[in-house]
Chains A and B, each alone.
Chain A
Amino acid sequence: MREAVEVAKDIGDVVLVGAAAVMLHTKEGRSSEDLDFVLASELSDYILLDKGYIKLRDKRDSWQTPRHFKVDFFRKDVGEISIKSILDMSTIIPVDTKNALRVISLECLIVAKSRADRPTDREDLRLLAKKRFDEIDWDVIESLSKSDMELESMKRNMKFYHDT
């Protein structure tokens, strides 16, 4: 998490997403050293290179930080949720006594993880359901859903994870 704070200091306007965000929302969980961020403002590759970041691949926005961590930047959407929605709904979560990070909201995280739907995402969703079920704003999830069927499926799955 220290590296996430360093990336935020380097770049400024970023929102943490992915497994590290699950860890901050639940104070538990596991994560590799790969960090995922949404860029809140336009940021050219040149600026990142100037800050000592190294581009790892051409296709995706994958970079190596000056401290040798891998970081992926998202500029369009995360799990088909627009960057604007993610930024507007993002929340600040303390990392330690001195630092805090802007993090994807609980609801956006649930929708993004539900759409990714890999076994690792299901494990993250189970953890979110166990720790934060009562705080989920279902109206927000409804506003992000593509259909009633998707909303019902997310509700049913989260309830199941919470109960079992």
Chain B
Amino acid sequence: MVLTHSLPESIPDVIRAVSFAQEFSDRPVYSIKKDAVPLAGSLFTAYHRLHILESLNLAKLGRNQFEIKTDVVSQPLSVLKKLLPSLIALKNAKRFGKYYAESDVVFARKNIPGQVLTTLDYAAWDVTKYQTPSNFYVYVNDLDAASRFLKEESGFSEGDNGRVVLLPLVGDFTNRIERVYLDCVANGGRSSLDAISIELQYGDKLTTRAYFPIEYVKKVQEESNRSRYEIP
């Protein structure tokens, strides 16, 4: 919640940065000098916009290069505004691991204090059974307390490779299935397939509808039809 206090003032900047990101042709990795500067007009503006995108988990910056989450920035502005809390939460996530295996997730699900909502992989798996889960993402009441519990009381380490991911409470959690759906859209990549699966099964509970490539929708539809043939 603390993280969103300056959001209304920064919305015009965010819109400009997203419009900038939408200008790029769809490629895996771009050059800052060759691709971003000509579009932004100057190196300063290019970095300014890329840093805004990075702060929302919409871009990754490397040495002279960057990546844009094209499947997320291509969402309509009305959807992107709904995604902001999810994007901010994901950007401020803390990742932990101990054995770097399924046992970490089993422990975390049972023991992390102040859990508010499980989201992404495991939440999507729980409601759709479409894609096998990998990382355990959970919103917690108190990020510092939950982090301390994992590090100081449970032997976990914070880093980039753990499978337990703590998320700060940002935004609205009233409609839980919609929040999981928006988180999946905001995370992009394979999570987009989870979002489609959720929309296909729980569309009546959603007030926001994201845009997905037809190729993905058909893939999820086809693969979800499996249950039709199952013997009771």
Name A residues whose Cβ lies closer than 8 Å to a Cβ of B.
28-34, 54, 56, 62, 64, 68-70, 114, 117-120, 122-123, 125, 130, 156-157, 160, 163-164
Q: Say yes or no for B21: interface residue by CB 8 A criterion.
A: no
Question: What CA separation (Å) do A114 and B231 show in the bound complex?
Answer: 38
Q: Which of A29, A31, A54, A120 has the most CB of B within 10 A?
A: A120
Interfacial chain B residues near A64, Cβ < 8 Å:
226, 229
Given contacts A70-B222, A156-B29, contact A32 B62 (CB under 8 A): no
Please measure, in the bound complex, the distance between the C-alpha atom of A52 and the C-alpha atom of B230, giving whole angstroms. 14
Interface positions, chain B 124-138, Cβ under 8 Å from A, are: 130-134
Q: From residue B216, how far is it (CB to closest CB) to chain A in Å?
A: 8
Taking A118-B216, A119-B70, A156-B65 as known contacts, 6 extra A-B pairs with beta carbons closer than 8 A to each other, sorted by chain A number, are A33-B223, A69-B226, A70-B223, A118-B215, A119-B69, A156-B29
Near A by CB (< 8 A), chain B positions 47-86 give: 60-63, 65, 67, 69-71
Q: Is the interface of A mostly helix, strand, loop or mixed?
A: mixed
B229 touches A160 (CB 8 A): no
Chain B interface extent, by class: 20 to 34
Cβ–Cβ < 8 Å partners of A28 in chain B:
134
Interface flag for B188 (CB, 8 Å): yes
Structural contact, B231 and A68, CB atoms closer than 8 A:
yes
Once bound together, how far apart are the Cα atoms of A53 and B133, in whole Å? 27
3 smallest CB-CB distances across A and B, nearest first, come from A123-B189, A119-B71, A164-B62
Report chain A residues within 8 Å CB of B188: 119
CB nearest to A69 among chain B residues: B226
Q: In the complex, A81→B132 CA distance in Å?
A: 28
| Neighbouring B residues of A123 by C-beta, 8 Å | 189-190
Cβ A31 vs Cβ B132 within 8 A: yes
